Amino acid sequence: MTNNTITFARAMKEDMEAYGKEVNFNRAIVDISGLKRVQLRILYTMYKMKLFPNKPYAKCPDIVGNVIKLHPHADTAIYDALVRLSQPWTLNYPLIDFDGQNGSEDNDPPAASRYTQARLSPYGYALINNIEATSPFVDDYADHGKEPHYLIPSFPSLLVNTSKGIGVAAACNFLPHTIEDISAVIQQRISETPETEVLAKLLPTFPTGGILMNGADLPDIYKSGRGSIKLRAKHRIDGSRIIFTELPYQVSRTSVIEAIQEKKDSRVLSVYDTSDMKQKSITIELRASVDKEAFIEELFKITRLEDSFNVNMTIHDREKVELRSFLSLVDEYIEQQHYRITRVASAIRVSALEKQLELEGFIEVLPHIDRVIEIIKTSANKQEAAATLKAEFDLMDPQVAAILAIKLSQLTKRGIDDIREEIEALEKTIAEQLEIINDEQVRNSIMMSEMTSLPKQNLKMQVEMNSIPQSSAVEVRRSMKATNGDVLYIHDEDEILIVTAERRGYRIKGKSLDKMPKDEVVLLHTPEWVQSQNSLDLFGMKIHPSIILVQCKSARGANLKL
């Protein structure tokens, strides 16, 4: 007798594996399209509703109600996902054009769905507009209809927008970029530019801007698919005020203000939100005697004015969840574009061939049009007429159907000339589509043309270092070796000493800095606002006796002796 019992441990393992796969594939982790399951269902529903960028908006309850037919969750979860796809402070290129209050950077909730409406943005439409020709369809969860199993993207949303998710033993969090930067990377991959050269010029672009502090780590992060970057708010000093702008991604102004107020620092007279329609900002009023640069460095430590963004380039391919390098994702996107463009070209070619076949059948019987009319008039029904025409003129079924459906007005000389011109146009279309199918270079040109034709976003492009390409919304500070007279920036501030002219022997802890190898010390920053003719000597470099920030690579601290 067969023993069909299973152990508790085996049952738990099998159930957990099934649960984890369901959560990761259908809820938490994105695929190469950059979309989670609910996001794909929202965009597909809006596509079916014909909510194109040039069409009127539809009420959000109508959209959500249609999505529920595909997505077995509550309307609130669907509406929240829809709203997020429309937020320009969350995505560089929002996929939904939203009409109404869709939240804020300070985590204010969106307006109730009954007050809002939406349609696809140009980017959302570009992402999904070839879905019926390229994506496989499966039964929905209730077997009421079909839904796309996955999306072959025609817009690199995964590479230009952030996609974050936490699943079962897996998570994802992608760096955002501009279309221009991704277009350049794709072009370099097509032209087989060395990997190191591609990565050396690539920078992320966050929708909220900021200063990227550890830019030197980026190539390794792009190669491994995992790492952490540090983002700082930009700031400027105006008299006794410090004004912070471009906060790190997903950091709210309210949380920063509350964190400063909770400290009840006697040096702070007031802190308030000074945002307007043009710029989001926080202003801190200080007492006149306060050392502002030292205070700013302190704020970076105790508030989220400096924050980390943990990169995790994990995607699923409907079979497994896998950590990927950035360029492997770019290569897969390019591969899928070739597949998509080929599928679309094949569909157009097949449609043109079918139309050409119908019109050629009509041209073939045109000299015998009187006989055709006689057959139709004397036949008992449509089926008999079709059978007689097919037998007498050796026609195919589509040609017979087209002849029976032709309008009498098309029998005029002009109408016949129009049919001949249409056949010529179809022959040209068929040849063009065949060239697309057979020629990789033509497909590459189409891919690049599609990306450059998308509307440009007014993303901030500001970089301080001359060695960094002018192509990122975040200022990048990379580590460099100090030379005489240089004012340099460093990428990692885990080990920082703050030294002032008044306290030259300022002790943190650890060993003396002057006993360390010279290449272990890198000058970080000498503020430009200091007006002084005196100078200090640091390893042969003349430094203003102001706040000096130094990184000690191999010590937790040091006693800087000047």
- CA-CA distance, 230 to 474, in Å (whole number)? 11
Which pair of tokens denotes residue 86? 């429309």
In the numeric block, the tokens 């030292």 are attached to 294
CATH number of residue 380's parent domain = 1.10.268.10
Q: 359 with 422: CB under 8 angstroms?
A: yes
Task: Output the pLDDT for position 56.
Answer: 95
- DSSP 3-state of 552: strand
Q: 459 with 205: CB under 8 angstroms?
A: yes
Strand pairing class (281-286; 268-273) = antiparallel
Task: Output the pLDDT for position 231.
Answer: 92
164 in a domain, yes or no?
Answer: no
Q: Are 139 and 39 found together in one domain?
A: yes
H-type helices in 177-225, by residue range?
Answer: 179-190, 195-200, 218-224
Instruction: Quote the number of domains for the chain.
Output: 4
DSSP label at residue 510? S
Q: What are phi and psi of 511, to 5 degrees?
A: -100, 170
Which residues are tagged catalytic?
115
Sequence-distant (≥ 6) Cβ neighbours of residue 445 within 8 angstroms? none
Sequence-distant (≥ 6) Cβ neighbours of residue 139 within 8 angstroms? 145, 146, 147
Q: Are 486 and 432 found together in one domain?
A: no
What's the angle, vertex CA 394, arms to CA 389 and CA 396, rounded to 5?
80
- Domain's final residue, options 433, 452, 471: 452
46 in a domain, yes or no?
Answer: yes
Q: 22 with 13: CB under 8 angstroms?
A: no
- Domain's final residue, options 123, 152, 181: 152
Q: 47 with 129: CB under 8 angstroms?
A: yes
First to last CA, the chain: 88
169 in a domain, yes or no?
Answer: no
pLDDT, tens digit only, all 562 positions of the chain: 456 677 888 888 888 888 888 898 888 999 999 999 999 999 999 999 999 999 999 999 999 999 999 998 889 999 999 999 999 999 999 999 999 999 999 889 999 999 999 999 999 999 999 899 899 999 998 888 899 999 999 999 999 999 999 999 899 999 999 999 999 999 999 999 999 899 988 899 999 989 888 888 899 999 999 999 999 999 999 989 999 999 999 999 999 999 999 988 899 999 999 988 888 899 999 999 999 999 999 999 999 999 999 999 999 988 889 999 999 999 999 999 999 999 999 999 999 999 999 888 888 888 888 888 888 888 888 899 989 988 888 888 888 888 888 877 767 766 778 888 999 999 999 999 999 999 999 999 999 998 888 877 656 433 332 223 333 334 544 332 333 333 323 333 333 343 333 333 333 333 344 444 444 444 444 333 333 334 444 444 444 444 444 444 433 333 333 3
- DSSP 3-state of 177: coil
DSSP bridge pairs for 525: 549
What's the Cα-to-Cα distance from 536 to each of 13, 294, 391, 427, rounded to whole Å?
66, 19, 103, 80
Q: Are 42 and 142 found together in one domain?
A: yes
Which pair of tokens denotes residue 156? 């690199």
Task: Output the pLDDT for position 73.
Answer: 84
437 in a domain, yes or no?
Answer: yes
Q: Are 39 and 147 found together in one domain?
A: yes
Interior/surface letters 160-182, b for 16+ CB within 10 angstroms, e for the rest: bbbbbbebbebbbbbbbbbbbbb
Which pair of tokens denotes residue 541? 């470099």
Task: Output the pLDDT for position 504.
Answer: 34
Torsional sign, CA 329, 331, 334, 335: negative
Task: Tell me the residue range of the domain where 403 lies.
Answer: 342-452
Q: Are 300 and 355 found together in one domain?
A: no
Q: Are 247 and 293 found together in one domain?
A: yes
**DSSP string covering 257-323, please?**
HHHHHHHT-TTEEEEEE---SS--EEEEEE-TTS-HHHHHHHHHHHSTTEEEEEEE-EEE-SS-EEE
**DSSP string covering 307-340, please?**
EEEEEE-EEE-SS-EEE--HHHHHHHHHHHHHHH
Q: Are 498 and 542 found together in one domain?
A: yes
CATH number of residue 72's parent domain = 3.90.199.10
What's the Cα-to-Cα distance from 38 to each of 26, 148, 162, rounded to whole Å?
8, 12, 16
HSE, side-chain direction, 13 A CA sphere, residue 84: 17
Q: Are 433 and 512 found together in one domain?
A: no
pTM beyond cutoff 0.85: no
Which pair of tokens denotes residue 452? 């450059």
In the numeric block, the tokens 């195919």 are attached to 396
- CA-CA distance, 299 to 319, in Å (whole number)? 46
182 in a domain, yes or no?
Answer: no
3-state helix, strand, coil in the chain (%, to 5): 45, 15, 40
214 in a domain, yes or no?
Answer: no
Q: Are 139 and 43 found together in one domain?
A: yes
Q: Are 439 and 510 found together in one domain?
A: no
Q: 471 with 210: CB under 8 angstroms?
A: no
Which pair of tokens denotes residue 495? 């080990």
DSSP bridge pairs for 229: 309
Interior/surface letters 72-89, b for 16+ CB within 10 angstroms, e for the rest: eeeeeebbebbbbbbbbb
What's the angle, vertex CA 225, arms to CA 222 and CA 227, rounded to 5?
85
Q: What SS3 string covers 82-109?
A: HHHCCCCCCCCCCCEEEECCCCCCCCCC
Task: Output the pLDDT for position 461.
Answer: 30
460 in a domain, yes or no?
Answer: no
Q: Are 360 and 281 found together in one domain?
A: no
Q: 57 with 96: CB under 8 angstroms?
A: no
47 in a domain, yes or no?
Answer: yes
Distance between alpha carbon 134 and the CA centroid of its chain, in Å?
21
Distance between alpha carbon 261 and the CA centroid of its chain, in Å?
35
- Domain's final residue, options 152, 171, 199: 152
Q: What SS3 string covers 109-143?
A: CCCCHHHCEEEECHHHHHHHCCHHHHCCEEECCCC
Q: Are 40 and 97 found together in one domain?
A: yes
